[in-house]
């Protein structure tokens, strides 16, 4: 077959197929039927095609068109919210201020680490001064003791009574742990201190050059 004739046939086929697809896509969907009281997508795109089916469609209006008021995030509505095109917070009447409920949950906290190597009377006296200063500003501290500190306090009734008073004044009393890999180790571990694993953990987290008396 002549090559030019073959190309012409292919071009004609493409034109015929393309025209057929175009006509199919332009044809209304088979379920689109005027008078069935259903305003389908085709009728919505062509409002003049069947006005009787689409006359009940309600156009969503703006809040101002409905004479409503758009409430802020700190306001609420004692009535039902209106459905509008420009806001999810459209109230048919005046917006009302939201009543904020006071909470006892603190927004922040001051955490004080009491390190194992500083468990001594001088450091405890410095801690006492820190707590007194915090009380003067109305600040509450979160005091995290290590085992050496706990042992020191439990062996001294005066220190224990002072800790109890701090807690009654609103300061938090807690604890934290320094494993054998942290400087300085607090003496507690479930690892065999005579084993290779314990030895390999030593000095992983070195001590800082300058260690405060109270903690970091």
Q: State residue 117 phi and psi, 5-degree precision.
A: -70, -10
Pick the most confident of 5-9, 112-116, 142-146, 195-199.
Answer: 142-146
Report which of residues 111 and 15 the model is more confident about. 111
β-strand pairing of 141-145 with 110-114 = parallel
pTM: 0.47
pLDDT confidence of residue 107: 63
Under a CB-based contact definition with an 8 Å cutoff, are residues 92 and 65 in contact? no
What is the Cα–Cα distance from 199 to 195, expressed in whole angstroms? 7
What is the Cα–Cα distance from 50 to 161, expressed in whole angstroms? 88
CA distances from 211 to 12, 66, 119, 123, 215 (A): 89, 68, 12, 11, 7
- Cα radius of gyration (the chain): 39
Across 40-137, the runs of DSSP E, i.e. the strands, are 69-70, 75-76, 90-91, 96-97, 110-114
3 state DSSP class of 164: helix
What is the Cα–Cα distance from 215 to 27, expressed in whole angstroms? 80
Which residues, 6 or more positions from 109, have their beta carbon under 8 angstroms from its beta carbon? 140, 141, 142, 172
pLDDT confidence of residue 163: 94
3 state DSSP class of 49: coil
3 state DSSP class of 145: strand
β-strand pairing of 75-76 with 96-97 = antiparallel
CA end-to-end distance (rounded Å), the chain = 93
Residue 183: cis peptide before it, omega within 30 degrees of 0 = no
> pLDDT tens, 96-155?
988 766 656 656 678 998 888 888 999 999 999 999 999 998 889 999 999 999 999 999
């Amino acid at each position: 077959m002549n090559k030019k004739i073959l190309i012409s046939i292919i071009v004609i086929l493409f034109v015929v197929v393309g025209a057929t697809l175009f006509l199919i896509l332009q044809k209304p969907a088979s379920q689109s039927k005027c008078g069935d009281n259903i305003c389908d997508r085709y009728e919505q795109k062509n409002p003049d095609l069947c006005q009787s089916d689409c006359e009940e469609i309600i156009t969503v209006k703006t809040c101002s068109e409905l004479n409503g008021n758009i409430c802020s995030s700190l306001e609420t509505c004692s009535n039902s919210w209106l459905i509008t095109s420009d806001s999810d917070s459209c109230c048919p009447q005046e917006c009302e201020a939201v009543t904020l409920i006071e909470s006892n949950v603190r927004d922040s906290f001051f955490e004080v680490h009491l390190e194992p190597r500083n468990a001594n009377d001088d450091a405890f006296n410095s801690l006492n001064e820190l707590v007194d200063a915090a009380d003067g500003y109305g600040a509450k501290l979160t005091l995290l003791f290590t085992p050496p500190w706990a042992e020191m306090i439990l062996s001294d009734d005066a220190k224990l009574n002072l800790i109890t008073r701090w807690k009654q004044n609103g300061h938090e009393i807690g604890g934290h742990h320094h494993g054998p890999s942290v400087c300085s180790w607090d003496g507690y571990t479930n690892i065999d201190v005579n084993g290779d694993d314990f030895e390999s953990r030593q000095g992983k987290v070195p001590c800082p050059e300058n260690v405060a008396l109270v903690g970091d």
